Structure 1
Amino acid sequence: MPEEQPPPTHWLFGDQLGPHFLDPARGGPHRNAPLLMIESRSVFRRRRFHRAKAHLVLSAMRHRAAELGDRVRYVKADTYRQGLREAVGEDRVTVRHPTSRTALDLVRGLPSVRVLPARGFLVTHDEFRTWADGRGTKSLRQEDFYRWVRQTHDLLMDGDRPAGGKWNLDHDNREPPPRGATDLGVPAPYRPRESDIDAEVRDDLDRWAREGDVEFVGEDGPRVFPATRREALAALTRFVEHRLATFGAHEDAVLAKDPTMSHSLLSASLNLGLLDPAECVERAEARWRSGDAPLNSVEGFVRQVAGWREYVWHVYWHFDAEYRTSNVLRHHEPLPDWFTDLAPDGTGANCLSHTLEQVRATGWTHHIPRLMVLGSFALQRGWQPEAVTDWFHRSFVDGYDWVMVPNVVGMSQYADGGRMTTKPYTSGGAYIDRMSDLCGPCRYKPSVRVGEDACPFTAGYWNLLHRHRDRFERNARMTRAVRGLDRLSDLEALLEQERERRD
């Protein structure tokens, strides 16, 4: 009898850290396979990452290696190729499907590496291709996909009908912040305690910066996001038991002194692979079925995880590699230094400076400041969308290539011309004023378009519509807004003000 060969080494990337990535029953490596993790310095040289993001990723990787003990070989190398040569030479290696096109091209180009199916998502690539087949790129709408995921995974379903009779309760989840409140008054989110590994990571990052080898942006305060499976599960429990019930109604609202509101803060843990999306949505649904959380809150959370997150992951791979360079609006303005440096004093707009300060301090802010403050401002100013995408990727602890390319190119900057969304997501200052408490102390007035008191979002909104009038007036969801240009008595003054700003 031929001697049985030992199983090949299995390579774990730094966003494949949960036990579900090693489950042999789900297409994982052999249970006795030796494991490899590679910490590549070149990853941090390529971009100026947020310091808190670099800390979180390295802390999570090193914590996972400590948990795995002798089973894993942890290599610190200049590049992935160098680390792989040092660890296994030309021996066989398996790896889960990576989460970026660059990483996938790397592993597919190595003859000794076999790529296993992706994990960390509810829907497989083959299942998505089957769903998308014959629909065409104009018909791959998130809402249709979300309903299909709910049906095929029996999420919030009563038989063949959606729980409560409606698929989407977004209408119930758009309330402004409570009048006069400075916070929602809900229990605080889970916060981890740092370990000796965190101190080691911080020392290494300090040394890299001193040596001039790597440059960071933002602050690296006490770690606020989970770096281990145990911490991530504690954060999930904290959310579903104490914060989920109040999540829905005000999920689009912003309060200056309550940056987390009732948001889960689980995106970083999901994107590091510490949590499986199935366990997140199943635990949320269980809270509704037990009567401990209202349907609108649970449905809103399920839609974020099983709807939007899954959709973004698959759109990233379904569209071709050139999608990331889409720029149908022909926006080419460079990002200003104050924005890339996360310098909140660079702008006089309170909403923008407040949001930049939060990103600078934590590497995180929830989806409305991302979309309707940061993204909207970039869109209105005509900043180059690929550069905006890179900025979001570098600046957020939960930012990865697959996350930011669809979210920024498609949704935020409308650079794909509507392949993902049906309209540009932008607004004047009135929306920010209604949904936040940020406009009151601001030097600008959300109702003013021209002059020293003009809100940059209000002026920017109308200028954007004017620049792209021919395109937007053909969009059924934008026609009414574009026609509003004809009712502006100060349009010429508005356009002159914009020309002066650009000069």
Structure 2
Amino acid sequence: MTRPHWVFADQLGPHFTDPSEHGPAEHAEIVLIEARSVLRRRRFHRAKAHLVLSALRHRAAELGDRARYVQADTYRQGLRAAVGRRRVTVRHPTSRAALGLVERLPQVEVLAPRGFLVDHADFRRWADGRGERRLLLEDFYRAVRRQEHLLLDGGEPAGGRWNLDHENREPPPRGAAALPVEPPWWPEEDDIDAEVRADLDRWEKAGEVSFVGRDGPRRFAATRAEAEQALEHFVTARLPHFGRWEDAMLHDDPWMAHSLLSVPLNLGLLDPGECVRRAERAYRDGAAPLNSVEGLVRQIAGWREYVWQLYWYLGEEYRGRNALGHHAPLPDWFAELDAGAVGARCLARTLAEVRDLGWVHHVPRLMVLGNWALQHGWDPRAVTDWFHRCFVDGYDWVMLPNVVGMSQYADGGLITTKPYAAGGAYLHRMGDFCGPCRYRPTERTGERACPFTTGYWAFVHRHRDRLAANHRTARATAGLARLTGLPELLATEHSRGQDPP
């Protein structure tokens, strides 16, 4: 008798259900479980809850009679209702909690992971061979490029260089409210979305669940067909402009030229291989410049793959890393996405976008939200949980290395060479927030002092011994001795404490 195959809500693409070696049979029943306990466990962003339920229900509708869709309180109850005591298969889940659950269920056989390019065993061999060297992205990225034969000409990188980051750091066009780029492709909501929204309204009104943020309209793909349209539109209309402004920010343009593909990728609707190969084809056809294509390949085949592998390689103890000894709690205004309580224009706008969209691109994530948390010494574990809950593309495997390692430097530099702390000058150079802001990026003290500038120097002072020993941050600590008004600066920063500026 053919065994049913269970898919989680982030395993919704055909590569998770199509028959293959050691996979489900061609006509296997597909089990999908909507477990209410997941929404009760954390205060997720409302748009994220909507997106995940919409994608899960859309997948069940696509599968038709082949689907066994169950709404239950827990996964255990849902599986029992779906298949009784029958044995089932499931692809390796994306979180340790889910993996622990399926491994404890004797009727479940766990199959190899899907949705990533590199095998766990291959990464372990690469990482174990590093010795005392850091597990740096650049080395791993080149190995993946070679393995997948991506952007190679005769075994060497296309264009003669592996890294084109220096071409992808242009500030936004002066005076532009938005990039001169075609807008992203948007899906159209349907009856399933209306049903999900009504259910969430009902559950929230009954006090069964609680959310942060706002819901609607749905901005991200919830089906395979929508994901394919989003990918094709990005490659043809937006990828040519992506690279040069990859690190730029604009107050009135949350999307810039970014792909937004992290959302359907992390739902399992797209496979990373198809994304990077479609982008490479655009380069080979002369439809997109190399710097844009290399930037996207680096994001997907490099950083995304790297983060996935680090999550499993570094172990659960990585979650508790706190090399800087940061223990301050998240203030209520941040936890509740209360952008109106914030004075700094860049922080207020970024927090409003999280509230309204459940998404901002990687630069405001790192250099506004993460930078602020780092400067103020917030507990990295709490910051990680916040990013997990509040972003539509946030999952445990995504946020743990991204926040603990890159954003908060809580691992002491295991995966990055320096903390990503910066003052107002960086935000002024890469964005358009500062002009109308009541604070000045060049002022360190006084009523108009930029809180990112005062926060940066207070951070450097607080961790000066550690930073002085790092060649990439030694100049900053040396600058403390030449900094006029340091006592006043520290008093200004301390007086603000954990309150918004």
- TM-score under structure 2 normalisation? 0.98
Q: Who is 1:323 aligned against?
A: 318
Partners of 1:434 and 1:27 in 2: CA distance: 52
Partners of 1:398 and 1:98 in 2: CA distance: 16
Tell me the amino acid that sits aligned with residue 8 of structure 2: F
Runs of 4+ that moved beyond 3 A? none
Could you report, residue by residue, the CA deviation over 1:184-209 in whole angstroms, capped at 9, with x for unpaired residues? 11111010000100000000000010
Tell me the amino acid that sits aligned with residue 414 of structure 1: Y
- Answer yes or no: is 1:22 the counterpart of 2:17: yes
Which one of the candidate residues 484, 488, 499 is aligned to 1:493?
488
Which one of the candidate residues 140, 160, 168 is aligned to 2:135?
140
1:263-274 mapped onto 2 (5 Å cutoff):
263-274=258-269
1:32 is displaced (CA, Å) by: 2.3
Tell me the amino acid that sits aligned with residue 370 of structure 1: R
Q: Who is 2:222 aligned against?
A: 227
- Answer yes or no: is 1:277 the counterpart of 2:269: no
- TM-score under structure 1 normalisation? 0.98
SS in 1 for 2:109: strand
Which one of the candidate residues 189, 192, 215 is aligned to 1:194?
189
Q: Who is 2:308 aligned against?
A: 313
- Answer yes or no: is 1:449 the counterpart of 2:464: no
- Answer yes or no: is 1:179 the counterpart of 2:185: no
Q: Who is 2:414 aligned against?
A: 419
- CA gap of 1:211–1:190, structure 2 versus 1, over 3 A, is same
Identical aligned residues as a percent = 66
SS in 2 for 1:24: coil
Partners of 1:407 and 1:190 in 2: CA distance: 27
Could you report, residue by residue, the CA deviation over 1:352-395 in whole angstroms, capped at 9, with x for unpaired residues? 00001111111011000000000000000000100000000000
Partners of 2:159 and 2:18 in 1: CA distance: 35
Q: Who is 1:376 aligned against?
A: 371
Q: Who is 2:148 aligned against?
A: 153
Q: Who is 1:296 aligned against?
A: 291
Q: Who is 1:358 aligned against?
A: 353
Q: Who is 2:255 aligned against?
A: 260
Tell me the amino acid that sits aligned with residue 340 of structure 1: A
1:500 is displaced (CA, Å) by: 2.5
Could you report, residue by residue, the CA deviation over 1:291-317 in whole angstroms, capped at 9, with x for unpaired residues? 111000000000000000000000000
Do 2:93 and 2:99's aligned partners in 1 also have CA atoms closer than 8 Å?
yes
Do 1:100 and 1:402's aligned partners in 2 also have CA atoms closer than 8 Å?
yes
Q: Who is 2:39 aligned against?
A: 44
1:112 is displaced (CA, Å) by: 1.1
Aligned residues between the structures: 498
Partners of 1:269 and 1:450 in 2: CA distance: 45
Do 2:454 and 2:490's aligned partners in 1 also have CA atoms closer than 8 Å?
no
Do 1:137 and 1:419's aligned partners in 2 also have CA atoms closer than 8 Å?
no
Q: Who is 1:3 aligned against?
A: none
Tell me the amino acid that sits aligned with residue 377 of structure 1: W
Structure 2: give runs of 5+ residues left out of the alignment: none
Tell me the amino acid that sits aligned with residue 428 of structure 1: G
SS in 2 for 1:243: helix
Comparing 450-459 with 488-497, which one deviates more in the overlay? Answer: 488-497
SS in 1 for 2:478: helix
- CA gap of 1:114–1:415, structure 2 versus 1, over 3 A, is same
Partners of 2:184 and 2:175 in 1: CA distance: 22
Tell me the amino acid that sits aligned with residue 153 of structure 2: D
Do 1:122 and 1:306's aligned partners in 2 also have CA atoms closer than 8 Å?
yes
Q: Who is 2:403 aligned against?
A: 408
Partners of 1:320 and 1:475 in 2: CA distance: 26
Partners of 2:367 and 2:168 in 1: CA distance: 16
1:26 is displaced (CA, Å) by: 5.4
Could you report, residue by residue, the CA deviation over 1:1-28 in whole angstroms, capped at 9, with x for unpaired residues? xxxxx12111000000000112333542
Q: Who is 2:26 aligned against?
A: 31
